[in-house]
């Protein structure tokens, strides 16, 4: 997953605590090896190679991961999509340096055959790149996955980190760890019971970082994911655009600066924060139980919106701009 | 199995009643390729799950129809990785009920291998047994004896012999690429407590068998075995004596099994192998080095390099080879299918293995079954590597030099 994972854990039995953290990190490494696009031995590459020809058998964990991806896709009106690998490749986001594809149309869509392969000399053929969750077939009875179109490929960049963290957190809990904070790349975090942290709080206070000074999130037995389009960026139409693609437009997202989701699972938080960066607002079908913060650029200010079941989890004191939520912030 | 079925089964089993299994393969004829091979995985802890993960990518070749683990939690977690497989808490019940299972993978704690491997072989199943083969030389011999009398194949999980990088290096070594062997060096470095966490004290001893001096064969046995086999295979010789030392350098948590060891193995021609392993530092990880008068080879499982001495003769192929700098040494990268890749201008893409070494080992096992060919690493070689690991551990634990009699490395 190309990022650093860390665990902070507290407890009396230091020996078991260390062993538990090692086991949790080993679980993350195992899922990284299974879900990466950058190692041909990964099971994800196996699916991408074979699923157009025949259904590929999944295990329970993977089936649940894909089923949840599909559910978030539908609830987010298509804003979350795990079939974007061909598009990500075409935009160059599978390399360190992105580039606007040469075969991009007025909607930002790319023609089939477009790629970041600079050695390609023949002109691109017409037609869309093979992608779309509607062409992804999950068979719940047989526990299989199949692509309905040749050339489709999955990219789990918007959900894999959360999935691995959830399983790592399960290992910590099963091993008797009662108090821990674990994160992947600082953007997806799980807080397990904060009673014993010595912080005098019943939650883990998680700051949003240098770009959003003063925003603190209270995390307790919940997961949080932050999505922002910065990081790998490309220059387009005179502006920098980030690495998150709007599946509906086929191009990187524009206006949303930040989306934070607090959810019962990191997998759900991860997927929904990606979807909200694309949408810029909560869709009607988003579960009420998820709490969100969305920061969006307007013409003259930044629009900050907190919504969901527990808006009090956010502390937004020094914010400039507009804050709209059910609760009042001072 | 109904009572009637059970009676007729036991009657047919004849002299094997004590074990309750009937060899199903009168002869190990080549297996017709009429569908995936039904297999079972016994022991679904982390290594068992790794095996399940590789088998998942071989669905045309094999189907996991059963899994087995005596630990309920592991069995439940293993079942999530093997949809459709029947779960068993006892391997004998599994072998008896799932007569369709043609091959079993054994990934239990090392000291439990013997009974499972012997039972499976006597029941006519092909056996892939993780290395080390067992935790005592007697147990290894029992497995070797069962394998010799069984119609099925038995392959120890010594992955070096299936590893494409190692196969290529072996061919160079045997072609005299580094000339006369001067010395050998191996290491296994990792930062881990080697402890399995649990909130249930009743499970602690079962899960932490590696740290139990009564059954553990230590770092030399658990990791060294894999690497000693590489040296045996390349150098085509076995050590005659071993001395060693072990200590607890980091994990002062009440354990008795050393977290850091070093040992020196002597071969009959005077060559030496220096081996060390630690759980306290991961620098340079796991690798084997063979130094000869014309050059050296460094093998690191997914990668391999050859370093030439300045006075070594030039061989044609190396002119086009991919190279990597290690401080003042320049390594020629060992790349499987290098000639083909070079012709396609894709030599660099061949650096490193596309799959985990375990994948190649399992693939070789299936190939041997389908083609009725000998396994890539014989059970006798498994015994030798394991016995050297066990004796090295004995030298480390006792602090005394151990003479390795040739007879110790043979089956009965």
Structure pTM? 0.88
User: Cβ contact (<8 Å) for A40 and B82?
Assistant: no
> What would the DSSP string read from start to end of A23-82?
HHHHHHHHHHHHH-SS-TTSHHHHHHHHTTTS-EE--HHHHHHHHHHHHHHHHTTT---S
Instruction: Provide the percentage of residues in chain B whose pLDDT is more than 70.
Output: 92
Whether B43 has a pLDDT exceeding 80, the answer reads yes
Measure in Å the smallest separation between the Cα of B345 and chain A Cα atoms: 13
Q: Is residue A280 a contact partner of residue A305, using CB atoms and an 8 Å limit?
A: no
A101-130 per-position pLDDT tens digit: 555 444 444 444 444 443 333 223 324 677
Interface contact B59, partner A, CB < 8 A: yes
Question: Who among A26, A33, A59 is closest to B80 (CB)?
Answer: A59
User: Cβ contact (<8 Å) for A22 and B82?
Assistant: no
- Please tell me which residue of chain B has the smallest CA distance to A34: B53
Q: Where are the beta strands (DSSP E) in chain A?
A: 5-10, 56-57, 136-139, 144-147, 179-184, 188-192, 204-207, 216-219, 222-227, 234-236, 239-241, 245-246, 251-252, 256-263, 291-297, 302-307, 314-315, 322-324
User: Cβ contact (<8 Å) for B199 and A15?
Assistant: no
Residue A102: per-residue pLDDT: 52
Q: Which band of pLDDT confidence, cut at 50, 70 and 90, is reported for residue A198?
A: low
Average pLDDT estimate for B120-140: 98
Measure in Å the smallest separation between the Cα of A20 and chain B Cα atoms: 5
Whether B198 has a pLDDT exceeding 70, the answer reads yes
* Upper half-sphere CA count for residue B198 (Cβ side, 13 Å): 16
Average pLDDT estimate for B245-259: 97
B130 three-state secondary structure: strand
A237-271 per-position pLDDT tens digit: 666 666 677 888 777 777 678 899 999 999 999 99
Measure in Å the smallest separation between the Cα of A11 and chain B Cα atoms: 12
Residues 6+ apart with CB under 8 A from B72: B89
User: Cβ contact (<8 Å) for A61 and B80?
Assistant: yes
- Please tell me which residue of chain A has the smallest CA distance to B208: A19
Residue A303: per-residue pLDDT: 80
Render the burial of B164-200: b for 16+ CB within 10 Å, e for the rest. Answer: bbbebbbebbeeebbeebeebbbbbbbebbbbbbbee
Beta-carbon contacts below 8 Å between A and B: 71
User: Cβ contact (<8 Å) for A15 and B53?
Assistant: no
User: Cβ contact (<8 Å) for A60 and B57?
Assistant: no
Q: Is residue B60 a contact partner of residue B35, using CB atoms and an 8 Å limit?
A: no
> What would the DSSP string read from start to end of B187-199?
EEEEE-------S
> Residue B230: which region, alpha, beta or left (left: phi > 0; alpha: psi -120 to 50)?
alpha
A153-181 per-position pLDDT tens digit: 999 999 999 999 999 999 999 999 999 99
Question: Who among A57, A60, A175 is closest to B198 (CB)?
Answer: A175
B358-397 per-position pLDDT tens digit: 999 999 999 999 999 999 999 999 999 999 999 999 999 9
A235 three-state secondary structure: strand
A133-160 per-position pLDDT tens digit: 999 999 999 999 999 999 999 999 999 9
ipTM higher than the 0.95 cut: no
CA distance B371 to A279: 56
Chain A residues close to B46, C-beta within 8 Å? 26, 30
CA distance B166 to B159: 9
The dihedral over CA atoms of B352, B358, B362, B363, expressed in degrees to the nearest 10, equals -10
B65 three-state secondary structure: strand
Residues B81, B84, B89, CA angle at the centre, nearest 5°?
Answer: 75
Interface contact B81, partner A, CB < 8 A: yes
Any bridge partners for residue A128, and if so which?
A111
User: Cβ contact (<8 Å) for B59 and A57?
Assistant: yes
Whether B107 has a pLDDT exceeding 60, the answer reads yes
């Amino acid at each position: 997953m190309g990022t650093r994972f860390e665990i902070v854990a507290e407890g009396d039995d230091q020996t078991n605590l260390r062993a538990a953290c090692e086991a949790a990190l080993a679980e993350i490494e195992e899922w990284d090896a299974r879900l990466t696009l950058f190692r041909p031995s990964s099971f994800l590459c196996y699916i991408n190679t074979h699923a157009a020809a025949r259904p590929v058998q999944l295990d329970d964990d993977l089936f649940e991961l894909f089923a949840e991806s599909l559910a978030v896709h539908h609830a987010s009106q298509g804003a979350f999509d795990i079939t974007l690998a061909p598009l990500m490749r075409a935009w160059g986001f599978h390399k360190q340096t992105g580039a606007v594809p040469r075969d991009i149309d007025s909607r930002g869509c790319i023609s089939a055959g477009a790629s970041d392969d600079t050695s390609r000399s023949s002109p691109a053929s017409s037609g869309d790149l093979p992608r779309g969750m509607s062409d992804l077939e999950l068979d719940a009875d047989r526990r299989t996955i199949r692509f309905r179109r040749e050339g489709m490929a999955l990219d789990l960049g918007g959900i894999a980190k959360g999935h691995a963290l959830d399983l790592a957190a399960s290992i910590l809990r099963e091993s008797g760890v009662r108090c821990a904070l674990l994160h992947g790349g600082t953007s997806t975090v799980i807080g397990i019971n904060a009673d014993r942290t010595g912080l005098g709080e019943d939650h883990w206070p998680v700051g949003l970082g240098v770009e959003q000074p003063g925003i603190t999130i209270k995390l307790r037995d919940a997961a949080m994911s932050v999505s922002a389009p910065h990081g790998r960026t490309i220059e387009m139409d005179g502006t920098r655009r980030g690495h998150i693609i709007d599946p509906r437009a086929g191009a990187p997202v524009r206006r949303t600066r930040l989306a934070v989701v607090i959810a019962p699972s990191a997998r759900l938080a991860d997927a929904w924060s990606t979807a909200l960066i694309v949408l810029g607002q909560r869709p009607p079908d988003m579960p009420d139980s998820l709490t969100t913060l969305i920061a969006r650029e307007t013409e003259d200010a930044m629009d900050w919106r907190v919504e969901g079941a527990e808006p009090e989890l956010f502390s937004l004191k020094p914010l400039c701009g507009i804050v709209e939520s059910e609760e009042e912030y001072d | 199995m109904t009572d009637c079925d059970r009676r007729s089964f036991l009657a047919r089993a004849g002299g094997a009643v004590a074990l309750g299994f009937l060899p199903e393969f009168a002869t190990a004829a080549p297996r017709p390729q009429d569908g995936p091979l039904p297999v079972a995985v016994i022991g679904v802890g982390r290594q068992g799950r790794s095996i399940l993960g590789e088998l998942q990518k071989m669905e045309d070749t094999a189907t996991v129809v059963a899994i087995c683990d005596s630990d309920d939690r592991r069995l439940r977690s293993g079942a999530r990785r093997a949809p459709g497989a029947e779960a068993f808490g006892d391997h004998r019940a599994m072998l008896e009920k799932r007569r369709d299972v043609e091959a079993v993978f054994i990934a239990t704690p090392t000291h439990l291998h013997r009974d499972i491997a012997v039972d499976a072989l006597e029941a006519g199943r092909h056996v892939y047994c993780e290395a080390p083969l067992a935790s005592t030389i007697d147990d290894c011999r029992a497995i070797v004896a069962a394998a010799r009398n069984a119609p099925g194949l038995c392959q120890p999980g010594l992955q070096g012999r299936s590893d494409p990088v190692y196969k290529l290096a072996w061919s160079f070594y045997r072609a005299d690429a580094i000339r006369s062997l001067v010395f050998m060096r191996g290491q296994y470095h990792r930062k881990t407590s080697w402890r399995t966490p649990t909130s249930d004290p009743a499970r602690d001893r079962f899960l932490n068998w590696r740290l139990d001096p009564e059954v553990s064969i230590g770092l030399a046995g658990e990791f060294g075995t894999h690497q000693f086999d590489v040296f045996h295979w390349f150098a085509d010789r076995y050590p005659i004596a071993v001395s060693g030392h072990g200590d607890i350098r980091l994990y002062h948590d009440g354990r008795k099994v050393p977290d850091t060891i070093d040992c020196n193995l002597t071969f009959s021609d005077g060559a030496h192998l220096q081996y060390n392993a630690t759980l306290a530092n991961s620098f340079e990880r796991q690798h084997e080095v063979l130094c000869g008068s014309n050059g050296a080879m460094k093998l690191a499982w997914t990668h391999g390099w050859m370093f030439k001495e300045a006075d070594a003769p030039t061989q044609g192929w190396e002119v086009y080879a991919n190279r990597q700098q290690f401080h003042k040494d320049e390594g020629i990268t060992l790349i499987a299918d290098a000639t083909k890749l070079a012709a396609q201008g894709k030599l660099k893409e061949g650096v490193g293995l596309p799959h985990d070494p375990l994948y190649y080992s399992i693939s070789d096992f299936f190939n041997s079954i389908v083609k009725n060919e000998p396994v890539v690493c014989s059970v006798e070689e498994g015994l030798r590597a394991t016995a050297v690991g066990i004796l090295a551990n004995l030298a480390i634990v006792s602090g005394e030099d151990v003479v390795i009699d040739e007879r110790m490395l043979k089956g009965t």
